[in-house]
Amino acid sequence: MMTHGISKKIRNANYFIETVVPRYKEGKIQGSDPNIRHYIGEVYLQRAWNYFAKLQKLGDFPIVKNTLIDEEGELIAASKRQPRNEVAHFIISDLDSALVLLGNTAPSGGKTELPATWLY
């Protein structure tokens, strides 16, 4: 199970995307739309960055787009490594999603996990 270091960050990003994006699309999240979009974009960017770190270190790597339950069959199936070119395409897809969602400036008072210079 992917539970430590960068893998935990990927799991957390997957959970966020899996739960927040559908609620956002259904209009169930209240707040400033540009801020909400920006924060969702940051999560796509963070997931892409974490996958990029894995790609650099390991090359082929499993692509997991959702949270996994603690069930042996599902975990074994999800742990199958994907070719590095597919991992790179997945990273680019997340970066494209981030680009569409991120605003030109970060919401005021917000704190990001990545340095601001990486966001723009």
Question: What is the DSSP annotation of 71-113?
Answer: -HHHHHHHTPPBPHHHHHHHHHHHHHHHHHH--SSPPTT---S
Can you give the pLDDT at residue 64? 85
pTM: 0.81
Question: 116: exposed, middle or buried (C-beta count within 10 Å: 0-12, 13-18, 19+)?
Answer: exposed
Number of helical H runs and strand E runs in the chain: 5, 0
As a whole number of angstroms, the distance between CA 5 and CA 79 comes to 16
Of 17-21, 47-51, 63-67, minimum mean pLDDT range: 63-67
Q: Higher-confidence residue: 2 or 35?
A: 35
Residue 1 clears pLDDT 50, i.e. is over it: no
Can you give the pLDDT at residue 42? 94
Count CB neighbours of 20 within 10 A: 16
As a whole number of angstroms, the distance between CA 54 and CA 7 comes to 9
The whole-chain average pLDDT of the chain stands at: 83
Can you give the pLDDT at residue 78? 73
Can you give the pLDDT at residue 3? 41
Residue 105 clears pLDDT 80, i.e. is over it: no
Per-residue pLDDT band at 18 (split at 50, 70, 90): very high
Residue 17 clears pLDDT 70, i.e. is over it: yes
Q: Residue 61: beta bridge partners? A: 82
% of the chain exceeding 90 in pLDDT: 43
Across 44-58, average pLDDT: 92
